[in-house]
Amino acid sequence: MLHWLSRLHALSAALVLLFLSMAIGQAAMDGFQPTRQRYPASKPLNPVTTTKYIAGLFSHYKGKVIAILDAAPGEDVIPADGATSAESIDKLEEHLRRSGMLPRRSRGGDALQTARGADLVVLVHDVPSYRQINPADLAKVMRSPLVLDNTGVWNSGEFDAAGLVYFNAARMYWPHWLDPEMEQFATFVRNTVPPGEGILMVPNGPLQTTATRARWFLPLNARLLPRRLYLWHPEMGTSFVTTYYQWVNSYNQETPWRGTQKVRLDKRGLSKNLPSAPTRTLSPVEIQAAKNHDVQWILFWRHQPDFLLGDWELVPFTTVLSWSAKSPQNS
């Protein structure tokens, strides 16, 4: 009995060493650096959850035109792994129609013609001609500026520059610390804020999700060092998941944004999407917190699990103070 147990123990140890060797070998091939190539570019769309997600993008979704950019029947899709099947798209089209929306499919045809007058464009297949589409041309023919990309092949910065609100469904399967828009924004902040200066993070309003992926302040804090990043009760927001849930609920119950005014910008720092700016005046408590921590910058953000350039705006503290002085409550 002991003889067989010792053999089993040796086999288990060998399997562990084999797995460890394979993991180290794969990491060495990537230069011991994390890469997005290890993660799938897309996942098949679930017709039910996708319909609910699309409906949630609108305050009134009935009658909205949904343009679905999919491949022609029998056309090879790049990449084949994880691609949404024609059957799933048929079901998505059916669910959208049952919900009161008006789906329209390209089936490999002209993307701009399919998107004409649409309220939302959904890219479900990586068709070469769709990959090369000009976002500015797309924005001109659409009725509402919403784009949902399930392939991850479109350049989010180009769509933002065209005034389109870009949602990347494929990116939701990547680790949030590898998000390309987060990296792009962190680079912008590093180039704007001198090392050692302070940044106070201020949500635009209620925290809208308890999704742990929405904790963008965790990778940003690492990316922005040695700049000082401050957050409302960081001991809760950056702690265990259960404590993070409490942080979201506590913030929404305390309503620190109460009495503040939304501020519309004439120009933005990185994003070009003016209507989506999360900027607002600060409450007296927030102003005092910025002064107490010797803060030079205010980082406004909209609390979402997907990092969208339009959801983030960095503004000098002195500029934000001028907004508060001009707000109706102080005039």
User: Starting from the edge strand earliest in sequence, which strands make up the sheet with 295-301, in order?
Assistant: 228-230, 198-203, 295-301, 312-316
CB 154 within 8 A of CB 173: no
Mean of the pLDDT values across residues 233-255?
Answer: 95
Is the pLDDT assigned to residue 304 strictly greater than 80? yes
Identify the pLDDT of residue 305: 87
Instruction: State pLDDT tens for residues 196-208.
Output: 999 999 999 999 8
User: Starting from the edge strand earliest in sequence, which strands make up the sheet with 120-123, in order?
Assistant: 102-105, 65-69, 120-123, 146-149, 165-168
Identify the pLDDT of residue 296: 98
Instruction: State pLDDT tens for residues 89-143.
Output: 999 999 999 999 999 999 999 999 999 999 999 999 989 999 999 999 999 999 9
Identify the pLDDT of residue 17: 64
Identify the pLDDT of residue 329: 47
Q: Could you give the CA distance from residue 199 to residue 189 in angstroms, rounded to a whole number?
A: 10
Is the pLDDT assigned to residue 243 strictly greater than 60? yes
Identify the pLDDT of residue 135: 96
Where b means 16+ CB within 10 Å and e means fewer, 33-57 reads eeeeeeeebbeebebeebbeebbeb
Q: Could you give the CA distance from residue 306 to residue 182 in angstroms, rounded to a whole number?
A: 9
Query: What φ, ψ does residue 117 adopt, rounded to 5°?
Result: 75, 10
Identify the pLDDT of residue 80: 58
CB 204 within 8 A of CB 255: no
Share of the chain above pLDDT 90, in %: 63
The single residue listed with the structure tokens 């102003």 is 287
Instruction: State pLDDT tens for residues 50-59.
Output: 999 899 889 9
Question: What is the domain partition of the chain in residue ranges?
Answer: 47-173, 176-330
Instruction: State pLDDT tens for residues 147-179.
Output: 999 888 898 889 988 989 888 887 666 677 888
pTM for the model stands at: 0.77
CATH number of 47-173: 3.40.50.720
Is the pLDDT assigned to residue 75 strictly greater than 50? yes
Is the pLDDT assigned to residue 194 strictly greater than 60? yes
The secondary structure of residue 52, as a DSSP letter, is H
Q: What does pLDDT average to over the chain?
A: 87
Is the pLDDT assigned to residue 255 strictly greater than 90? yes
CB 124 within 8 A of CB 151: yes
